[in-house]
Chains A and B, each alone.
Chain A
Amino acid sequence: MASTTLGVLKSALDWASITLNAPFARAVVFGVPIGGHYVVEALLGVAIFFLLFQKSYNPPRQPLTEREVDELCDDWHPEPLIPPITEDMLYAPPVLESAAGPHAVINGKDTVNFASANYLGLIGHEKLLESCTASLEKYGVGSCGPRGFYGTIDVHLDCEDRISRFLGTPDSILYSYGLSTTFSAIPAFCKKGDVIVVDEGVHWGIQNGLHLSRSTVVFFKHNDMNSLEHALERITRENNRASKKRRYIVVEALYQNSGQIAPLDVIIRLREKYRFRVLLDESNSFGVLGGSGRGLTEHYDIPVEKIDIITASMGHSLVSDGGFCTGNARVVDHQRLSSSGYVFSASLPPYLASAAITAIDILEENPDLITKLKDNVALLCQGLANIEGLSIVSDPLSPLIFLKLNNSTGFFNEDLKLLETIADRMLKEDSVFVAASKRSIIDKCNLPAGLRVFVSAAHSESDLLKACESLKRVSASVLTGIN
């Protein structure tokens, strides 16, 4: 069978070559006999050559005429600049008629203030006011320029030295606003391709920094070290070039969105295992945690050099404004030319730098402020232990006490409305001022809403008891309908 097919094929090929060769069977050019297939190949070559030099097919282009463009432009109607104002958006915060100290005047009434992060109770401290007044008289209010262009005033440098001396770091750098500290510092060190592992509960300043850095961002579950380890493990495993990239773990020491404290000892163990750098935001823990207020590193008794970059806002315990970033000389010097919020912004008003220096001085001289604060926190936590309808999610040591609803409605805005009702009634009925945690529409954090109670060392025992009672009474009355 096979042999007959082969035979037929062979005879067919023979026949083809004979017919091909037939016209030029005896043609010899320069001693080379020309087979018919050469002719065919030459013809094919000519055809290819011809096709190559043909113009490629171009669909006729029909650009829009000016009139059509005009019509399109006329047809286009933009959305309004903002969405329509709904009732949710009409919230107006209470207006203080005095300093935001432990007691503030609202609507002419003396109110216990639990809405200001005046942790150490330094608002209205005489020494602070004195140093600010002296500074205002000498330097005026604003610095009228960025740091590079005669906006560096000697108190800025003194303040940077003071912070480094207090924390035991080689150098620090001042920013003129707390919020801008993280979102300028992060893009200075992370670029496209770098990897950042970050807690999902970080505040907007960090989120914006991550976005601006364009790095690869991996989130782990809020304050969950197993989730962090998984993330680190996965990145190291999946990415064999990982060691060539800069890798960071970004965490907050005391989360503004939940009041929880990051377990730094575990984080340090993990960072050493997987070789990541750590960026720690101490905005709410600086001056609060640790025996002398040096923050989370002191709290866990970890040498400060183990953290590569520490940022903090000075608008909380230091009752000033602005922020700082501290670390080794290389970290700080790099920011002086690469951090956009530092280079392109006017510097901190000098009187606020003096305020920060004096606040650190006061803190160092009076370590009992921190013990007083801890006592107050413990007292309030104890008082709120069996509150109805709400539960404390914050760490027992955190002066930012975060209460979330036991039975959430499932919608952030609905929860917030309930909490705002509680806060509102507490203010009106008992003159106790607490704030619900509002969230911007561009904030990607998805932790539950809650009431934030900022405890201060300056609150007296009766203030705290009053707050406890009021919170319990009002929350029970507001939430019983739901529970």
Chain B
Amino acid sequence: MITIPYTTALTTYISYGLLFAFGQFRDFFRKIFDWFSTNGLQGYAPICLGLEDFYVRRLYLRIQDCFGRPIASAPDGWIDVVERYSNDYNKTLKRTTKTTRCLNLGSYNYLGFAASDEYCTPRVIDSLNEYSASTCSSRVDGGTTVLHTELEESVARFVGKPAAIVFGMGYVTNSAILPVLIGKKGLIVSDSLNHNSIVKGSQGSGATVRVFQHNSPSHLEEVLREQITKGQPRTHRPWKKIIVVVEGIYSMEGELCKLPEIIAVCKKYKAYVYLDEAHSIGAVGKTGKGVCELLGVDTADVDIMMGTFTKSFGSCGGYIASSKEVIQYLKYACPAHLYGTSISPPAAQQILSAVKVILGEDGSSRGAQKLAQIRENSNFFRSELIKMGFEVLGDNDSPVMPIMLYNPAKIPAFSRLCLKQNVAIVTVAFPATPLLLARARICISAAHTKEDLTRALEVISRVGDLVGVKYFPAEPNKEEWQENNVQGGAKLD
């Protein structure tokens, strides 16, 4: 749980209040002007309702330049950020041809497969020439090539499940699978901070959705007990089935799921477990097999394992791994399998090759090195940030580390100042986080060297001092602290 310091909460509320007041003030004048210049569309309700895009017009546009910065290179350890300018107070941004070389702390390039790779890229290009860029067809029609079947086998083996099915997009994987597995008369118990794709998938399924407190097995148990005793709303018939949906690593918090405890609860109450490993697969665990490996959970205890290839594997798409029967059923029933274009063959080849590198089947130890590197990088970076006094969320070993900013004014300041010193950082605000809990998010990659990270830490520390986001007192430097102690000791003598 994030506890906001009292004064920070107050100033944040005041900031948003001011922004809201000025926004309303400007809207008022806008309305007067619009009244004089009536638009041509009579009889139509406006396509974007007034308050629906208030946030965009009056808050987001002011700091638009901090988001969606285009890059002109692969999203590797260093990127070329394209410079933009605006002539109308940030309303529209125009691209220039100039780029700045920046250290990339924003992309989900955990294992460094984003850039061209000595093992993967030649194979990907071969696949492109052999299979072309697309099959123009869904998997059940003409979209299943040898690569696709090989990929499914490879993923199932990598994840540690009997079978797997792959899709062309991670978001669709969640939002098209949940409606197949569960419908009306079913219950989805979802973590409060689950990703939007899970939320939309749950909504699409028509099942009842109950939320449990983020990462709290005890509250999950409470919810399950209450729901099983109560049954379905109004009819009070027992639920057909209950699916508990959790994520391996929460992308906005950097926290690891308390999987062993949650599985114990689910087993006790006979609920099915759906684990979304979008950020954890490939990135954590001794051999990159995700949170199950890291936390010592038997994959047989997780009924449905979902993950994406966008992050660690540097490709696109998503997978579901489960028992043979479930996969067979999904292949029969899942709309994304029946209607969606099959995953592009070169992207499939990228995943296949990346899995081989991770497992060391390419004949080198690069995979193991990458995994060691990302763990070391993440833990080093996290401990240094905490020492500096930043409020860092998340657990050790997780390559995602959010730094809390809170105040709306600190979002652009932090982002722009870092960019000025050639460090590209992601700042996250509403709608990806609650309004009050704006943060900067750092994603560490195995492609970063120690020098890169030290440089980044220096920049972040400097910017942190300037912007005032070191909410905790800095830990004294160890040597200094010891020296002081020794001096103190000497005086006593």
Could you tell me which A residues sit within 8 Å of B by CB distance? Answer: 64, 69, 72-73, 76-83, 85, 88-91, 93-101, 104, 113, 115-118, 123-124, 128-129, 132-133, 136-145, 147-154, 156-157, 176-180, 183, 189, 191, 203-205, 208, 211-212, 243-247, 256, 275, 277, 308, 313, 315-316, 319-321, 330-331, 333-334, 336-338, 340-341, 343-346, 348-349, 351-352, 355, 433, 435, 438-443, 452, 454
In whole angstroms, how far apart are the Cα atoms of A433 and B179 in the complex? 31
**Contact across chains for B116 and A136 when beta carbons are under 8 A apart:** yes
In whole angstroms, how far apart are the Cα atoms of A100 and B303 in the complex? 34
Nearest B residue (CB) for A439: B338
**Contact across chains for B47 and A189 when beta carbons are under 8 A apart:** yes
Residues of B within 8 A of A319 (CB): 132-134, 136
Is B344 close to A, CB under 8 A?
yes
10 cross-chain CB contacts under 8 A? A96-B142, A116-B141, A149-B441, A152-B71, A176-B169, A177-B169, A179-B169, A179-B335, A330-B48, A440-B180
Is B218 close to A, CB under 8 A?
no
Is B414 close to A, CB under 8 A?
no
**Contact across chains for B116 and A277 when beta carbons are under 8 A apart:** no
**Contact across chains for A179 and B172 when beta carbons are under 8 A apart:** yes
Is B196 close to A, CB under 8 A?
yes
Given contacts A141-B347, A337-B56, contact A154 B131 (CB under 8 A): no
Given contacts A81-B181, A123-B132, A243-B43, contact A97 B108 (CB under 8 A): no
Of residues 38 through 81 on chain B, the ones whose CB sits less than 8 Å from some CB of chain A are 43-49, 52-53, 55-56, 60, 67-76, 79, 81
Q: Which of B44, B74, B117, B172 is close to A139, meaning CB atoms less than 8 Å apart? A: B74
**In the complex, what's the smallest C-beta–C-beta distance from B132 to chain A, in angstroms?**
4
Of residues 289 through 317 on chain B, the ones whose CB sits less than 8 Å from some CB of chain A are 303-304, 308-311, 313-316
**In the complex, what's the smallest C-beta–C-beta distance from A362 to chain B, in angstroms?**
13
**In the complex, what's the smallest C-beta–C-beta distance from B200 to chain A, in angstroms?**
6
Q: Which of A116, A178, A246 is close to B135, meaning CB atoms less than 8 Å apart? A: A116
**Contact across chains for B121 and A136 when beta carbons are under 8 A apart:** yes
**Contact across chains for A129 and B128 when beta carbons are under 8 A apart:** yes
In whole angstroms, how far apart are the Cα atoms of A94 and B137 in the complex? 12
Residues of A within 8 A of B142 (CB): 93-94, 96, 100, 104, 113, 115-116, 433, 435
Nearest A residue (CB) for B225: A69
Is B158 close to A, CB under 8 A?
no
**In the complex, what's the smallest C-beta–C-beta distance from A193 to chain B, in angstroms?**
10
Nearest A residue (CB) for B241: A78
Of residues 88 through 138 on chain B, the ones whose CB sits less than 8 Å from some CB of chain A are 95, 104, 106-109, 113-117, 120-121, 124-125, 128-137
Residues of B within 8 A of A140 (CB): 74-76, 113-117, 121, 314
Given contacts A78-B240, A344-B171, A344-B196, contact A204 B137 (CB under 8 A): no
**Contact across chains for A150 and B107 when beta carbons are under 8 A apart:** yes
**Contact across chains for A96 and B314 when beta carbons are under 8 A apart:** no
**Contact across chains for B339 and A73 when beta carbons are under 8 A apart:** no
Nearest B residue (CB) for A433: B142
**Contact across chains for B197 and A136 when beta carbons are under 8 A apart:** no
Residues of A within 8 A of B272 (CB): 78, 81
Residues of B within 8 A of A154 (CB): 70-72, 82, 95
In whole angstroms, how far apart are the Cα atoms of A150 and B418 in the complex? 14
**Contact across chains for A349 and B71 when beta carbons are under 8 A apart:** no
Mask for B254-287, Cβ within 8 A of A = 1, else 0? Answer: 0000000000000011111000000000000000
In whole angstroms, how far apart are the Cα atoms of A137 and B311 in the complex? 19
Given contacts A145-B108, A440-B338, contact A157 B76 (CB under 8 A): no
Residues of B within 8 A of A345 (CB): 169-171, 197
**Contact across chains for A139 and B341 when beta carbons are under 8 A apart:** no
**Contact across chains for B141 and A93 when beta carbons are under 8 A apart:** yes
**Contact across chains for B74 and A177 when beta carbons are under 8 A apart:** no
Nearest B residue (CB) for A106: B142
Q: Which of A95, A129, A189 is close to B146, meaning CB atoms less than 8 Å apart? A: A95
Is B409 close to A, CB under 8 A?
no
**Contact across chains for A351 and B310 when beta carbons are under 8 A apart:** no
Q: Which of A96, A138, A141, A150 is close to B315, meaning CB atoms less than 8 Å apart? A: A141
In whole angstroms, how far apart are the Cα atoms of A95 and B141 in the complex? 10
**In the complex, what's the smallest C-beta–C-beta distance from A211 to chain B, in angstroms?**
6
**In the complex, what's the smallest C-beta–C-beta distance from A421 to chain B, in angstroms?**
16
Is B156 close to A, CB under 8 A?
no
**Contact across chains for B136 and A142 when beta carbons are under 8 A apart:** no
Mask for B309-349, Cβ within 8 A of A = 1, else 0? Answer: 11101111000000001101101111110111101111100
**In the complex, what's the smallest C-beta–C-beta distance from B431 to chain A, in angstroms?**
7
**In the complex, what's the smallest C-beta–C-beta distance from A76 to chain B, in angstroms?**
5
Given contacts A76-B238, A81-B303, A343-B432, contact A118 B181 (CB under 8 A): no
Residues of B within 8 A of A205 (CB): 339
**In the complex, what's the smallest C-beta–C-beta distance from A260 to chain B, in angstroms?**
18
Given contacts A136-B125, A150-B79, A153-B71, contact A438 B344 (CB under 8 A): no
Q: Which of A140, A435, A454 has the most CB of B within 10 A?
A: A140
Given contacts A141-B315, A143-B75, contact A343 B431 (CB under 8 A): yes
By Cβ-Cβ distance, the 9 closest A-B pairs, closest first, are A115-B142, A315-B341, A177-B169, A89-B332, A346-B310, A435-B141, A345-B171, A140-B74, A344-B196
**Contact across chains for A85 and B242 when beta carbons are under 8 A apart:** no
**In the complex, what's the smallest C-beta–C-beta distance from B83 to chain A, in angstroms?**
12
Of residues 229 through 247 on chain B, the ones whose CB sits less than 8 Å from some CB of chain A are 229, 238-242
Residues of A within 8 A of B339 (CB): 179, 203-205, 256, 440
Nearest A residue (CB) for B167: A177
Given contacts A142-B313, A204-B339, contact A349 B344 (CB under 8 A): yes
**In the complex, what's the smallest C-beta–C-beta distance from A69 to chain B, in angstroms?**
5
Residues of B within 8 A of A133 (CB): 125, 128-129
Residues of B within 8 A of A330 (CB): 47-48
In whole angstroms, how far apart are the Cα atoms of A182 and B121 in the complex? 33
Given contacts A78-B239, A129-B129, contact A180 B347 (CB under 8 A): no
**Contact across chains for A180 and B172 when beta carbons are under 8 A apart:** yes
**Contact across chains for A438 and B44 when beta carbons are under 8 A apart:** no
**In the complex, what's the smallest C-beta–C-beta distance from A19 to chain B, in angstroms?**
57
**Contact across chains for A344 and B195 when beta carbons are under 8 A apart:** yes
Nearest B residue (CB) for A309: B47
Residues of B within 8 A of A82 (CB): 181, 325-326, 329
Q: Which of A101, A142, A245, A315 is close to B310, meaning CB atoms less than 8 Å apart? A: A142
Is B426 close to A, CB under 8 A?
yes
Given contacts A78-B242, A101-B132, contact A144 B116 (CB under 8 A): no
